[in-house]
Amino acid sequence: MTDPQNPPQPPAYETPAYPAAPPAAPAYNAGYGQAPAPGTPIPGRTMGIVAFVLSFFLQLIALVLGIVALVQSRKAGQKNGFALAAIIISSVLLVVGTIIAIVVISFWVNVGGDLATQIQACIDNGGAGTVEVNGVTLSCEEVLEQSR
C-alpha cells in the first residue's frame, strides 16, 4: 500500500516522440515589391520611356537617362523594362556608330592624303605632266583645278 507520509512522486516528463518544430525562417524579399496600385506613378518610368525613344537617335543622352531611370525604379523596388532596353540599345548603337565613324574618317584621311600628295607632285613639276589619282590618270591642270 501507499505510505501516507511518502506520497507517490509524479512521473518524469518524457520527451515527445516527434521533434519540436524549427523556428520560422525569415521571409525572403525577392527584390521587388508588390505591383503598385493602378494610377500610382512608378519612379523613373517616364524617363525610361523617353530614354528608349532617344536611344535610336541620341545614344549618349539616352544612355545617361536610361541609367538614371533604372536606378530610380530599382530604389523604389520596381522593374523598368524601358530603361533597361534603352541602356542596351543605346550602348550597342554607340559602339557600332563609333566603329563606323573610325572607318569613314580613316578612309577620307587616306583619300585626302593621296590627293595632297598628287597636288604637291603637280606643284613641284610646275603644273605640267600627269598624275594618277585613285587609279585615274589626270593632267596636273585638272588636279590643280579641282583642288581650288
Q: What is the mean pLDDT of residues 44-55?
A: 90
43 has a pLDDT exceeding 60: yes
98-108 confidence digits (pLDDT tens): 999 999 998 88
Beta bridge partners of 132: 137
Q: Name which of 73, 71, 78, 82 is nearest 33 in CA terms.
A: 78
9-24 confidence digits (pLDDT tens): 776 676 666 666 666 6
Indicate whether this model's pTM tops 0.85. no
Q: Which three cell numbers stand for residue 144?
A: 590643280
